[in-house]
Amino acid sequence: MAQRTDQRRNGQGGLAPAAATALAVVGALGFAKLLEPVLGLENIDLVFLTAVVAIAARYGLGPSIAASIATVLAYNFFFLPPLYTFVVSDPRHVAALVFFTIVAVITSNLAARARQRALEARSRAETNEALFAFSRDIADTQAGDDLLGATVARVARLMGRDVILLLRDPSGALEIGAASQAGAEASDLERQAVQSAWSDAARASGVNREVLRFGERFYFPMRTSRGVTGAVGLGPSQDGSLSAEDERLVRALADMIAVAVERTRLAAERDEARLAAEAERLRSALLNSLSHDLKTPLASITGAITALREYGALYDAASRDELAATIQEEAERMTRFVGNLLDMTRLEAGAVRLHRETTDVGEAIGAALRRTAALTRDHRIVVQVAGELPLLDLDATLLEQALVNLVDNAVKYAPAGSAVTLSAKVQADAVRIEVADEGPGLPADAPERVFDLFYRAPAAGPRPAGTGLGLAIVRGFVEALGGSVSARNGPGGRGAVFTLAFPLTLASPAPGADA
């Protein structure tokens, strides 16, 4: 773009300016001959002057000077007596010829300057438009590799040259980050020269190069507040030169690329810091849970074992059975807690491996209730499973664990003697499994928050034991199985209802059905 503008400005274009100048002079001569009887000899020079101005406006100063000389000679040869000679007999005509020459040269110079300024203004507009489009493109590109590839491709199209991008690696050495042509390389010597040109030592010595030429390639520094972070390498042109306008444009592009690359680096550092902070928060929460939620069952187990060993003779058989039951309950509680920690760790690490098999939802509900029999002994369990439920292609172990966690959550918040209802039915192209309790219900402002890690719903009385992991594990397991989980309050806002939905696309073929 910039090279084409320079060609327009400098009147380059081979024989076109010369041919146009000759045609303009011949055309002006013809018009002057036609208009001579009307305008008279004194005004014919205006026709030639118009041709000079037209050539100056179109092709610049050089062709307009040539047009001025040619029109003066034509005016003298064809119009001033004696005709068809370059001799001027009348002194008045000599003065007119001299002044015409002066006016033609001045006019052509002014017209050429006006043209040059118009071309400069057009070039600046084109440059600003290109920079704006470039900034918009790189602003819309976020990923680091996509940004580098889009950047070099855009600069290559804009400049009509091949482009390479050198970026500093963590050790400070320059490596090729992207190239507009496959296989483009920069030699070790070339990279070292570029690195030395804008090093701290070069800047301290007073060397401040804005452009470095190495072989046929020009390099421009990419500067940010942190210093030079890389370089933009511009390949050779046809004439091997670099115009001042191209240089200004590429320097502006290099600064914009530097800011964009710095932005992606800062975004990556921010994400790393956020992930590190999140990991630290999770670790702290797990440690707090370990110290708090393991303390109570360990204390209960230790107290019961101590009582049995040291004071066993003082207890009757019923009391010893009660202490043994306490040890078993607290051990099972610790087992569930440790299991939740392990499950959450697997989910966070993406290490949940599915073992899909044909699963009967009713059997999964029964297995979950058997595992939670000790927890539900003070509640009424209601099971409502619709007939002819389709078999699902699921991991039965994960589904059972999700139901166990939901039942555990229900009995924690529902008062003793209340009902916990488990139901399963086909509705809206999905198999829906619901676990409903008669507890205080979910927070009205955001019921879905209960699936967040470590979230504990507020309780009117003493808060039930727990870590806030159970429901987060339910969501992770169900989504891994290809289903979804939701929560809502029961009728009248009383009690919580958790719904697992598995699309019928997960249904296994009925036994004996054609594959």
Which segment of 102-116, 432-446, 450-464 scores lowest on mean pLDDT? 450-464
Higher-confidence position of 172 and 482:
482
Answer whether 154-268 and 352-506 agree in fold: no
> pLDDT tens across 356-397, in order?
899 999 999 999 999 888 889 899 999 999 988 899 999 888
Long-range contacts of 144-152 (CB under 8 A, 24+ apart): 144/261, 144/264, 144/265, 144/268, 145/178, 147/260, 147/261, 147/264, 148/177, 148/178, 148/261, 149/178, 151/178, 151/257, 151/260, 152/178, 152/179, 152/180
Q: What is the pTM of this model?
A: 0.46
Residues β-bridged to residue 507: 392
Q: Tell whether omega for the bond before 82 is within 30 degrees of 0, i.e. cis.
A: yes
Q: Contact at 8 Å (CB) between 469 and 341?
A: yes
Q: What is the CATH number of domain 154-268?
A: 3.30.450.40
% of the chain beyond a pLDDT of 90: 13
d(CA 58, CA 42): 27
pLDDT band at 2 (very low <50, low <70, confident <90, very high): very low
> pLDDT tens across 311-365, in order?
777 888 888 888 888 888 778 777 766 766 666 666 556 656 778 899 999 999 9
The CATH architecture to which 352-506 belongs is 2-Layer Sandwich (3.30)
Q: Highest-confidence range of 95-99, 411-415, 467-471, by mean pLDDT?
A: 411-415
d(CA 507, CA 392): 4
Domain ranges of the chain: 2-135, 154-268, 295-348, 352-506
